[in-house]
Each structure stands twice: as structure tokens, then as C-alpha cells.
Structure 1
Amino acid sequence: MRLAVLKETRDGETRVALVPETVKKLVDAGYQVAVEQGAGAGASIADESFARAGAVIEPNSSLALAGAEMVLRIGAPSDAEIAAMPEGCMLLAGLLPLRNLDAVRALRDRRITAFSTDAIPRITRAQAMDTLSSMANIAGYRGALLAAAELPRYFPMFMTAAGTILPARIFVIGAGVAGLQAIATARRLGANVVATDVRPEVKEQIESVGAKWVGIELKRSASAGGGYARELSDEDRARQQELLGDQCALADAVISTALIGGTFAPKLISAATVARMKPGSLIVDLAADGGGNCELSRPGRTVQHGAVRILAPLNLPASMPGDASTLWSRNLHAFIAAFTKEGRFHLLMDDEILHGAMITHQGEVTHAATREALER
């Protein structure tokens, strides 16, 4: 069975779906792996490294796709890329289908069986396949470093001959994987960290990585299962806004990471809240890929609002392409290996993981939430 790995074409994308370490494992399992020439260049992986691992290096995407039964990617392909894929083949990628409905339509019409790694159920058996957690961990780490680099003051406390400099106060919004890693990294850099999440059950996790928990008592649970949060009621949202406003006003830097269902970013930081923040403080909006948690964020840009800077970086995992590609590749390998027998990938349609990750199959949209979004 032939697997194809292509260059990623999204602007700023430096990652590659497979690395040589994983290529070797797949080849040893009986797969043929075709890699488009230069696919690993952004992650500083030479074609020769792929070849030594057993991959076939093809000079262009058309030849890499020839005869491929499964295509492996980082992000959603363009319409032109979908049209070039063999009709009826399989695709394994981070499709984010609710953000990329046009791609879903094209995959459906091409009768491609598409699996989205962000739709894999968050169950124990699937932890090794979880690309969302792998990439969120990188985003949280880089987000804290970005805040430390851009804040015009120290993160840690310094005791000097000229006196003591107190540590910076960092406020982290959201305690999923990205938020917890941002907390841990900021603490390692010596900052005082306060954090909040609408899911009260994560209080212990926040405290375990060294932050102080702040929160409100909700009238209705905001936990949606699988580590996700749901939208708040109007009453709870008003109380949350009061808490966020007070904490942002005290902070030297705010790192926001909140997503609804792992996909869309709720607007949590209003212009009025930004106006209350200290001169020289900043916001690092790690939810920019989902639209941003701050209503003043401009995804991909840094903006100045009064005396406050708002950073909204996109695709932070691509800023660490070596490790990001390695983790992504291991996640894909775990998914493929779970359904491999005698060098072939088997569609076990009644399997919870396979069923949950499947977006399109045989000309139909099989993923319920995506199908509903297309029908609206």
C-alpha cells in the first residue's frame, strides 16, 4: 500500500507530515512511502534522510500521488490539491472541518475517505494519536516565551545591588494543554502566574504546575467532555467578564488560549478590558487561529491599543518545525498502526476512533457536526 507525503502549501507552514524515524517504521510494516522532493525542507530534513529510511523520493506532487492509496498532510488541502488526489483514496490530516467546509465539500465530491486528526475521540486508547495536544503543547510553550521576550520588564524577581525587581504577574486564560504549558513555562521563567478556566475540575491541574487559580461558581457546567468547554449562559458570561476584567487589569501579560470545542475562539477580552490594563502590558492571543479571544486581536499581526500591545501569532507550532513534525509524525503513525494488518490500512467502520475521525466516505459527509454545518 502506497502512502504519499507532500510539501505543505499553506503560507508559513514549515512542518512535514512524516519524519524519517516514522517512515522507517511504516516501511518495516510493509508500506511504500512516497515523499515529494523538498517536503521536509522547512523542518531541515533532507531528502536523503527520507531515502535512507526507505522512502521513495518523487520529484513532484503528481508523481508522489500516482498510485497512492493514502495521502498524509498537516493541514487541509486546497481545492486544486484535492482534485489532484486519486479519486477514492484516503486522506489523513488536521482538516479542522468546521473551519474548512469548502474543502469538505471537495473531498466529498471526490469520494475521498478523509480522516481529521482533530476529530479523533479524546479517549485513553487514542492519546498517542492526539495531534491537537501535541501542537497545543508547543503553542503554550512558545506563547510564554513570546510574552517573556516582548514584555518590557523581567519575568523573574531580581535582587540586585540597586534593589529588588519584583516578578511579573502573568494571567493565563484557559487551562487546556496550551494553557497548562504556558503556565509551566512562565513559572520556570520565574513569573507569578494566575490562571482561570470555566471548567472548575482543572483547578487542581492549574495549581499542580505552579499557578494560582481564580474562578467563578457557574450556574451551569461548562464542561463539554473530552477536555473541551462549551459556551456559557448569559448570566455566567457576565460574571466571567467581571473576573477577566479585574485580573487583566492586574496583569503585566495576559496569555489567552480558550477555544470552544477545540475549534472556535470565544471573545473573552473586550476593548473595555484592554483599556483597564497597565501601560506597557501585553496580550498574547494564542487562540488567533480560531479568530482570537480578544476582540481587538488581528490574527497574524501585532497591534497597539493605547499603551497595550496585542500579539496574535498564527500557527505557532510551525515556529518549531523539527519537534512539531516529529510529534505530528508519531501521532499519525499511531493512528495508522492501530488499523494496519499485513502492510495495509483496514477500514474498521465500527471502531470508535476510526468512526470519530472520519469526515467523508464514499461521497458522503459522515461527521455529524460537519454535516450539520454544511446543511445550515
Structure 2
Amino acid sequence: MTIGVLKEPSFESRVSLLPEAVTSLVKKGHELLVESGAGLRAFASDEHYRQAGARIVSRTEIMTAAIVLGIHPAEDITSGLPSGTVLVGVYQPLYQFLRMKQWAEAGLTCFSLDMLPRTTRAQSMDVLSSQANIAGYKSVLLAAFTYSRYFPMFMTAAGSIAPARLLILGAGVAGLQAVATARRLGAVVEVFDTRPAVKEEVMSLGAKFVEVEGAADASKAGGYAVEQSEDFKKRQEQKIAESIAKADIVITTAQIPGKPAPQLVSSGMISSMRMGSVIIDLAAATGGNTELTRNNETVVTEGVTIIGNSNLAADMPSDASKLYGKNIVNFLQLITNKESALHLNWEDDLVKGSCICHGNELVNERIKALL
């Protein structure tokens, strides 16, 4: 099976496969084509890929591969790929459903790994979790860099410094990693989440869990937030407002698949924070969790810095690409057989769940519903 690795757009520093992942696929009998310069921003040169067994080719030749890997949906894919080509990446089909329709009409088979069912069996292929882990870690480092004061408590001859107070909204993979990192840096951490089930995890990391009674059941939402009742939203807003008024750093991570991110932080709440405080919004790409978030922008209002960035994993391209590539290798084992040929088992819930289009048709029910 010929597998092609595309060079990502200019805003993305990660790559689908690092040379070590290429080596493992070559050993399984696959032929690897890598677009020239694809790994440079992840500190992998073309020579590293050659040594791993790949051929360095042009973008045009990449389009001849049976399976094409690209983290983001490239603009030239529809016109450049022949019918029957398999695409594997993170294509956000719940937001890019019109593009998915175009790909179906072009005869492409698309697997979007952000649509994998969040099951135990899928953990080795779960790109959302592997990248969210990095984003949670990086969000705290970015906050510490931006914040004008210390994170830990210091007692010096010149006086004592109180520890930073940090509030994290959402205790998914990113939120829990943010808790662990902030605690290691010495901050006092509070966490809000609508899922009572995460309380024990939060407390085991040394943080306080802010609880609001009466949340809708989110046990089947795959780690995401779910829509809540108006009564719950009012009580939630009051609790968050109380915590934000005392917080120096706020990291927000709450998202709902296929819908705008829930707006949890109002401009009034932001006004209650002291000057020099910092908000890192990881849900910026889907509208943000604060009223003032702007995606890929830094906004300063009344002395409070609001950073909207949903792609923080790309700030650590080496490890992010390593983990992403391992997820990809595991997924490719699912859709190929021992002879390294394509084998799509539609009885497999992971294959079926992550497939968006095949055979000139949209096959994912959620995407078809959006159209």
C-alpha cells in the first residue's frame, strides 16, 4: 500500500508521521511517500525520512498514493486526488460538512479521526486525547509566561508572595493535564465541570472541585460538554462568577461537538478580575468560552489578557507529531490487512464511526443530518 504524507499549511507545525513512524510502516510492507519539507517544522529533515525508508517527492506525486495523510483539509485535495483515494486526518466534519459533501462527490474515502468513538479500544488511535494532553500542559506554561506574577508561594526577606489562584473550566484531558501542570508550578487550583464523575480525578491531582447540582448526564458525550437546562446555567453562571472574581489565571476547555463552544465567561466576569490576570481559551476555534475571545488573537481588556488558541499542541511539534503519528499507525493497522492492502471492515465500530464518505456517498449519519 502506498501512503503519502502531505506538508501541512503554513499555520501548522506538526506533521502526520515522523521518521520513526515511517520506519514502522515500511517494515510492515508499505511504501511511504513524503512531500519535500513536510517535517521541517517538527524538526525532521527530508534526509531523516530517506534514512527511515521513505521517498521524498513533490506534492503532485503525493496525490498518487492510495492513502494520503494530512492533519488539516488541504484546499487542493478535491481537484488533485483521483477517485478512490483514502484520506486520513482530523477534518472537523461537523463544521466542514459542505467540504465533506464535495469530497464524497469526488469519490474520495475520508476517515476523520476526531470522529472516532471514544471507547477503550479506540484509545491508541485517539488523536483528540493525545493532542489535548499537550494543549493542557502548554496552556499553563503560556499562562505562566504571560502572567505578571509568580505561580508558587514565596517567602523571602523582602516579604511573602501569595500563590497564583487558577481556575480551569472543563476537566477533560486538557483540563486535567492543566491541573497537574499548574499544581507542579505551585498554583492553587479550582476546577469546574458539569460532570460529577470527574470530581475524584480532580481532587486526586490536588485541586478543588467546584460543584453545581443538577447537571445533565454527560456520561455518553465522550468527554465533551452537553447542553444544560436554563436553571442549571443560571446556577452555573453564579458559581463561575464567584470563582473567577478570585482567580488570577483562567483556562477554559469546554466544547460541544458540532456546536459553538458554550459561553461560560461573560464580559462582566472578566471585569471582576484584577489587572494582570490571564485567560487562556482552548475553545477559541469554535467560538470560545468567553464573550471576548477572538480565535488566534490576544485581547487585552481592563488589564486582563485573553489568549484564544485552539492549536497549542502545534507549539510542541516534535512530541505532538510523535504522538499523532503513533495514533495514525495504530489506525492504519485497523484499515489494512496482513498483506498491507486496504481492508475496510464496516462491521468494526471504529472504522464505521470515523468514516465520513465512501463510494461517492456521505456515510456518516451525523454529517448527513447536518445537510
Same-fold status (TM-score > 0.5): yes
Partner Cα distance (1:262, 1:139) in 2: 20
Partner Cα distance (2:310, 2:218) in 1: 26
Deviation of the 1:227 alpha carbon: 2.1
Q: Is the 8 A contact 1:222 1:231 kept in 2?
A: no
Partner Cα distance (2:285, 2:204) in 1: 28
> In structure 1, the residue corresponding to 2:167 is in which secondary structure?
strand
Label 1:343 to 1:134 Cα distance change in 2 as closer, same or farther (>3 A): same
* Counterpart code for 1:54: G
Deviations 1:294-334 (A, max 9, x none): 01011111111112111112411111111111111000000
> Residue 261 of structure 1 is aligned with which of 236, 257, 260?
257
Partner Cα distance (1:149, 1:45) in 2: 27
2:6 aligns with 6
Deviation of the 1:134 alpha carbon: 0.7
Partner Cα distance (1:17, 1:334) in 2: 13
2:343 aligns with 346
> Residue 132 of structure 2 is aligned with which of 136, 140, 156?
136
> Residue 62 of structure 1 is aligned with which of 56, 60, 63?
60
* Counterpart code for 1:55: A
Q: Is the 8 A contact 2:154 2:162 kept in 1?
A: yes
1:72 aligns with 69
Aligned residues: 370
Please list every run of 5 or more consecutive structure 2 residues that lacks an aligned counterpart in the other structure.
none
- Report the aligned-residue RMSD: 1.3
> In structure 1, the residue corresponding to 2:143 is in which secondary structure?
helix
Deviation of the 1:98 alpha carbon: 1.1
* Counterpart code for 2:137: Y
Deviation of the 1:263 alpha carbon: 6.5
Q: Is the 8 A contact 1:5 1:64 kept in 2?
A: yes
* Counterpart code for 1:76: P
> Residue 85 of structure 2 is aligned with which of 62, 71, 89?
89
> Residue 282 of structure 2 is aligned with which of 253, 276, 286?
286
Q: Is the 8 A contact 1:2 1:33 kept in 2?
A: yes
Q: Is the 8 A contact 1:223 1:230 kept in 2?
A: no
2:192 aligns with 196
Partner Cα distance (1:270, 1:264) in 2: 15
> In structure 2, the residue corresponding to 1:228 is in which secondary structure?
coil
> Residue 122 of structure 1 is aligned with which of 114, 118, 122?
118
Deviation of the 1:262 alpha carbon: 7.9
* Counterpart code for 1:315: N
**1:322 paired to 2:318:** yes
Partner Cα distance (2:354, 2:328) in 1: 12
Partner Cα distance (2:294, 2:176) in 1: 24
Q: Is the 8 A contact 1:96 1:263 kept in 2?
A: no
> In structure 1, the residue corresponding to 2:3 is in which secondary structure?
strand
Q: Is the 8 A contact 1:224 1:230 kept in 2?
A: no
Deviates more, 1:111-120 or 1:68-77: 68-77
**Structure 1 length normalisation: TM-score?**
0.96
> In structure 1, the residue corresponding to 2:13 is in which secondary structure?
coil
1:369 aligns with 366
Deviation of the 1:219 alpha carbon: 5.3
Deviation of the 1:12 alpha carbon: 1.4
Please list every run of 5 or more consecutive structure 1 residues that lacks an aligned counterpart in the other structure.
none
2:329 aligns with 333
For 1:172-211, list aligned pairs within 5 A. 172-211=168-207
Label 1:263 to 1:28 Cα distance change in 2 as closer, same or farther (>3 A): farther
Q: Is the 8 A contact 2:18 2:325 kept in 1?
A: yes
> In structure 1, the residue corresponding to 2:78 is in which secondary structure?
helix
2:46 aligns with 47
Deviation of the 1:278 alpha carbon: 1.7
Q: Is the 8 A contact 1:76 1:100 kept in 2?
A: no
> In structure 2, the residue corresponding to 1:115 is in which secondary structure?
strand
Q: Is the 8 A contact 2:33 2:62 kept in 1?
A: yes
* Counterpart code for 1:65: M
Q: Is the 8 A contact 2:194 2:215 kept in 1?
A: no
Deviation of the 1:226 alpha carbon: 2.2
Q: Is the 8 A contact 2:216 2:226 kept in 1?
A: no
Deviation of the 1:198 alpha carbon: 0.4
Deviations 1:266-318 (A, max 9, x none): 11101111111122212111111222100101111111111211111241111
Q: Is the 8 A contact 1:151 1:280 kept in 2?
A: yes
> In structure 1, the residue corresponding to 2:16 is in which secondary structure?
coil
> In structure 2, the residue corresponding to 1:21 is in which secondary structure?
helix
> In structure 1, the residue corresponding to 2:305 is in which secondary structure?
strand
Q: Is the 8 A contact 2:215 2:228 kept in 1?
A: no
Identical-residue share of aligned pairs (%): 45
> In structure 2, the residue corresponding to 1:111 is in which secondary structure?
coil
**1:358 paired to 2:355:** yes
2:148 aligns with 152
* Counterpart code for 2:197: E
Deviates more, 1:105-114 or 1:220-229: 220-229
> Residue 215 of structure 1 is aligned with which of 194, 203, 211?
211
Deviation of the 1:82 alpha carbon: 2.3
